[in-house]
Structure 1
Amino acid sequence: MQKNLLNTIDSPEDLRLLNPEDLPELAKELREFIINIVATKEGHLGASLGVVELTIALHYVFNTPHDELIWDVGHQAYGHKILTGRKSVFHTNRQMGGISGFPKRSESVYDAFGVGHASTSVSAALGMAIASQLKGDFNKHHIAVIGDASIAGGMAFEGLNHAGVTDANLLVILNDNAIGIDPSVGALKQYLTNVKKGTQKRENIFEALNFNYTGPIDGHDLDSIIQELKRLKSVKGPKFLHIITTKGKGLKQAEEDQVRYHAPGKFDAITGELISKPNVKQPPKYQDVFGHTIVELATQNKNIVGITPAMPTGSSLKYMMDKIPDRAFDVGIAEQHAVTLASGMATQGLIPFCNIYSTFLQRAYDQIIHDVALQNVPVIFCLDRAGLVGADGATHHGVYDLSYLRCIPNLIIFAPRNEIELRNIMYTAQLGLQNPIAIRYPRGRGVTIDWQQPFSKIEIGTGAQLKEGSKMAVLSIGSIAKIISEAIKNSNAPKSVAHYDMRFVKPLDDLLLHRILKQYDLIITVEDNSVKGGFGSTVLEFAAQHHYNNQIHMLGIPDKFIEHGSTLALQESIGLDSVGLTQYINTLL
């Protein structure tokens, strides 16, 4: 008979009142709770199911929130959120106005550090541990739970390297399940596999870094985890616990198809079967346009290579990895390495398409400048998930790329308004560009059913007029053009409003922009990038440089971090939906 233990727990203090023999039942209930909510509300599933026992054990043994717990990355933290006072609001997870899908310091005292990107936990926890030492709090514990895919990231190694020469009270727990979102890759993954199989004969790499290493142990055996955590509480200095888990544990389909059930959408909570959507022909996802197009181009051009830092499924580079595996590279969660690897390849005459989410490319900013642009190496950056991305929220919105890229010399910046434009700029880029180029496109589906058109070369630095108008010109960049077209059509005087897709933020179409500034006194720029320093700022700078006095209004992402919610709801909240844009146009007219 089910005890409904979870209903009695509103904080870790309640959890610690339970008898150890009750904890397996709590783990069962916690799994069922996560499955039932995510089945209907959607979100990340497999990662949190895999660490249910570890989550319970950590809060049972350690005095959280005084002892600080960091999850790397936050996909693992659903159970943590439920046990730390957010059970009653967990159904609002990732929804507008609800709780975040990731740990967030402003949301709970139990969320010691905000995490959305990978490989940050060791450095953050070490910083906290050193701070505790300096403040004389020698009994405070600092725990970083890091996945085997995340620990391969360079920053995690930097943190381990530093921690090993300190006496900080730091515990690093490696959640080893051989998968991040896609299967883990690289020599470290092979090393961990050998450790699990007992075939690793060389010195333990973590002991070599001066960590007190234990494991590997079964991450689903609550008694073993609790006993080991209690022992480690009395061990001084940096400690490393290696646990073996199964991503998706407790839901058969999630265990068997770990990639799809990382974030499966809606599914049947009892059977685990995905709920299929009506089979209606739809435009493709931009990522799939990239994925199919690079295969098409690479089949014709033997110099093309594809690179992604741990996102072959999310970026759709998986199509090339399946069909041309020797020229497609998943380098793990290592954006800096991905960029410089691409640059090295390009110096040898290869044509690298380096596919990275817009928000993740931020992590390789120096490499873009120093290793690519400064040397004017023709790397082709394909920036997926540009603009607002919806429920993943502030850590994942790709709304800064135009701003952080356009100040870099030598770099071409292009944003396709539809799938055909994406195909054509990819085709153009591999014809022998002498400069690096960044191509940014959004998450989700495009607008064109019949998108696989013959390739056509795009002239670099040229915009296009989409609609004539008599009084006002709207200048847009990228796929937001569709929303603007709807807004103009629904305005009070659609014939008064011209619409231009500028296509290139850099180089600008100078001739076209001169013509627009001479013809229209009233101009609106619209972008799904930060309004600070983005496309609109480029137009303003151009107008000032050439002594134009036009009335120019800039619309874009406001100067604040945008939280989570559906993309449409977020657009509505900042006036970048068609209704909001129509109202704005009407007020100016």
Structure 2
Amino acid sequence: MAVSSPVQTSAPVLSGLDGPGKLRAVPVGDLPRLAGEVRAFLIEKVCAMGGHLGPNLGMVELTLALHRVFDSPRDALVFDTGHQAYVHKILTGRREGFGTLRQQGGLSGYPSRAESVHDLVENSHASTALSYADGLAKAYALSGQGDRAVVAVIGDGALTGGMAWEALNNIGAASGRPVVVVLNDNGRSYAPTTGALAAHLAALRQDGGMQACRNVFTDLGFTYFGPVDGHNVAEVEAVLRRARALGRPVMVHAITVKGKGYGPAEADEADCLHAVGSVDPATGAPHTPSGLSWTDVFGQTLAEIAAGQQDVVALTAAMLRPTGLHLMAQRFPGRVFDVGIAEQHAVTCAAGLAMGGFHPVVALYATFLNRAVDQVLMDVALHRLPVTFVADRAGITGPDGPSHHGMWDLALLSAVPGLRIAAPRDPARLRSLLKAACQVQDGPTALRIPKTTAGPDIEAVARIGGIDILYRSPHRPLDILLIPIGPLASAALEAAVLLEEQGLGVTVADPGWVLPVNPALPALVARHRLAVTIEDGIRTGGVGSAVAQACRDAHVTTPMLTLGLPRAFIPHGSRTTLLARAGLDGPGIARTVLDALTGHRPGHTAAGPTPTASGRAR
């Protein structure tokens, strides 16, 4: 292809691209400038809107090469994890949408099937792309479409997950299927990648270009190309064309730099500005400094507990800093273990530590704890081991969307025999409940904390049978009992004031330890005309269901409402807005209660018999 004229060369390249077809027509000589324009666009938009900055800055040239070699969507491109797909979105016609990135109703921060035919997998749970690729390649072969290529782009951090190796084992065994695995090796997930695989990849990087060398990938049946410079579009493009032409499993090992081309990210050794809110593009500093988060409180408290309790150890799955464990790691580095993106292993490893006489604290995002429920059930609870699970980002998380909302944990964990679950309402309760959990020696415990700034402490006005009474209407009948779970106590207190203004007597009770149900709670329910549980997990099988069952078992006939999230995948948006849409803010709770008392029961929030004004169930 002829080199562009000086006039053409001076014009912006990115503005003329509305799809991969035009990208393939860009002269090779213009690709470095295009990469610079994409990088500048990312810095401008992500610094303004928030999102995953560091991972995408490292993916610019690699993604350009992918879309020049492979014909998406006919050729399948699957990104693992999806937070490195921003450049893919830009190149597939969604550049204008970045002004609404991760905003409600706007562009998703992950691949989205609803947005584009170029997005196959809406993934943010790591280590899955290779299994998708194996299945797609099998489907294309079975349907006579063997000329369609399947490409899985996986970061070296995601390759630490066991599921990735299950897939590699299957892909490599079937040498006739054309699967190209692009290993985006930047030496880190959130933080630097650790373990034997990281050492092996480092050795391959050091060998530099020994494509015929024997390594773990060749032993699994892959042709290995690499390491290649992931920031040289022409070099990556040439290797990808060779990989495609082979028509068999190929591993392309590309070396990239997380945060490439943006000084603040490259200088941020902690996480290379992995994920940011709105920040100053000149410095990478937040525009509005946030207050102390729930994660901060947890991290500080656990470090303090560890100082006085020598049997406490901690584990996480590639989330040392995001879960707050870096504070304990700084003080007691030998007692904190980052196992990589391997939640199942983390939980069963914790079981082994507990068998050996320690009290492990396993800190995971609530959405990722889902991946290890079998291990919680069969490896920890079955053996009645003293392991504490801390589910960070529980409930509605906000702009990361459906795969990140931590809304399933209560329903899943409620089925685990012997597991005691706490939901602190404020920082003081987080500290006390975590300390109590670390003292438990006869079985597992769990605490769930949200993704938000930790608010002020909410002191109890009374305590009944281990249940904190947060509010009690003076000189009023016992009409309504509100039972909020964890930080929804604030919304329940707001609702109590609104209901009291309608002439109703209201009690707000916080059980603290929410599962199993405190035996004193049914007796408290029985003293009221209507009881309402309020949780930011799915209504089906959560705390509300357990409280209702406990009341039935105790022959308590007080009508109940179960407020919570619908059994659905909730899109991205702000935590405040999404909770309000689910009726879990103060006005929403009050409105639902008043509707129930007058016989209008909103189906998306309330469950159970509807009380009449006299309190009898219809």
Q: SS at the partner of 1:261?
A: coil
Contact kept? 1:468, 1:495, Cα under 8 Å: no
Contact kept? 1:149, 1:333, Cα under 8 Å: yes
Contact kept? 2:226, 2:252, Cα under 8 Å: yes
Contact kept? 2:522, 2:556, Cα under 8 Å: no
Offset of 1:51 from its aligned partner? 0.8
Question: Paired residue for 1:190, among 186, 196, 199?
Answer: 199
Q: Could you tell me which residue of structure 2 aligns to residue 231 of structure 1?
A: 242
Offset of 1:226 from its aligned partner? 0.9
Query: Equivalences for 1:155-304 in 2 at 5 Å?
Result: 155-166=163-174, 167-198=176-207, 203-257=214-268, 259-269=271-281, 271-277=282-288, 282=291, 284-304=292-312
Offset of 1:160 from its aligned partner? 0.5
Query: Equivalences for 1:175-574 in 2 at 5 Å?
Result: 175-198=184-207, 203-257=214-268, 259-269=271-281, 271-277=282-288, 282=291, 284-448=292-456, 462-469=466-473, 470-491=478-499, 492-493=501-502, 496-517=505-526, 519-574=527-582
Residues 404-436 of structure 1: CA deviation (Å, up to 9, x unaligned): 011111111111111111111121122243110
Offset of 1:333 from its aligned partner? 0.4
Contact kept? 2:381, 2:444, Cα under 8 Å: yes
Report the aligned-residue RMSD. Answer: 2.0
Matching residue's letter, 1:252: G
CA distance in 2, matches of 1:482, 1:449: 10
Matching residue's letter, 2:563: L
Offset of 1:494 from its aligned partner? 7.0
Normalising by structure 2, we get a TM-score of 0.90
Contact kept? 1:483, 1:578, Cα under 8 Å: yes
CA distance in 1, matches of 2:230, 2:160: 20
Matching residue's letter, 2:140: S
Offset of 1:288 from its aligned partner? 1.3
CA distance in 2, matches of 1:435, 1:494: 45
Contact kept? 2:515, 2:543, Cα under 8 Å: no
CA distance in 2, matches of 1:501, 1:494: 23
CA distance in 2, matches of 1:586, 1:179: 52
CA distance in 2, matches of 1:275, 1:365: 36
The structure-2 alpha-carbon separation of the partners of 1:348 and 1:554, relative to structure 1 and needing over 3 Å to count, comes to: same
Q: Could you tell me which residue of structure 1 aligns to residue 604 of structure 2?
A: none
Contact kept? 1:191, 1:200, Cα under 8 Å: no
The structure-2 alpha-carbon separation of the partners of 1:169 and 1:409, relative to structure 1 and needing over 3 Å to count, comes to: same
CA distance in 2, matches of 1:450, 1:402: 23
CA distance in 1, matches of 2:11, 2:193: 38
Matching residue's letter, 1:221: N
Contact kept? 2:32, 2:233, Cα under 8 Å: yes
CA distance in 2, matches of 1:222, 1:581: 55
Question: Bigger CA drift: 347-356 or 505-514?
Answer: 505-514
Q: SS at the partner of 1:475?
A: strand
Matching residue's letter, 1:266: S
CA distance in 2, matches of 1:88, 1:326: 48
Contact kept? 2:265, 2:284, Cα under 8 Å: no
In structure 1, runs of 5+ residues without a counterpart are 452-457
Q: Could you tell me which residue of structure 1 aligns to residue 120 of structure 2?
A: 112
Question: Bigger CA drift: 419-428 or 344-353?
Answer: 419-428
Matching residue's letter, 2:398: G
Residues 271-323 of structure 1: CA deviation (Å, up to 9, x unaligned): 244244369xx4x2111111111111111111110111110110010011111
Contact kept? 1:346, 1:378, Cα under 8 Å: yes
Offset of 1:449 from its aligned partner? 7.2
Aligned residues: 577
CA distance in 1, matches of 2:312, 2:119: 44
Matching residue's letter, 2:430: L
Matching residue's letter, 2:580: E
Contact kept? 1:264, 1:274, Cα under 8 Å: no
The structure-2 alpha-carbon separation of the partners of 1:406 and 1:165, relative to structure 1 and needing over 3 Å to count, comes to: same
Normalising by structure 1, we get a TM-score of 0.94
Matching residue's letter, 1:264: V
Q: Could you tell me which residue of structure 2 aligns to residue 139 of structure 1?
A: 147
Q: SS at the partner of 2:276?
A: coil
Residues 126-162 of structure 1: CA deviation (Å, up to 9, x unaligned): 1100110111111100000100111111111111011
Contact kept? 1:291, 1:318, Cα under 8 Å: yes
Q: SS at the partner of 2:583?
A: coil
Q: Could you tell me which residue of structure 1 aligns to residue 609 of structure 2?
A: none
Offset of 1:450 from its aligned partner? 11
Q: Could you tell me which residue of structure 1 aligns to residue 616 of structure 2?
A: none
CA distance in 2, matches of 1:267, 1:384: 23
Q: SS at the partner of 1:524?
A: strand
Q: Could you tell me which residue of structure 2 aligns to residue 41 of structure 1?
A: 49
Matching residue's letter, 2:248: G
Q: Could you tell me which residue of structure 1 aligns to residue 602 of structure 2?
A: none
Q: SS at the partner of 1:430?
A: helix
Q: Could you tell me which residue of structure 1 aligns to residue 79 of structure 2?
A: 71
CA distance in 1, matches of 2:301, 2:26: 56
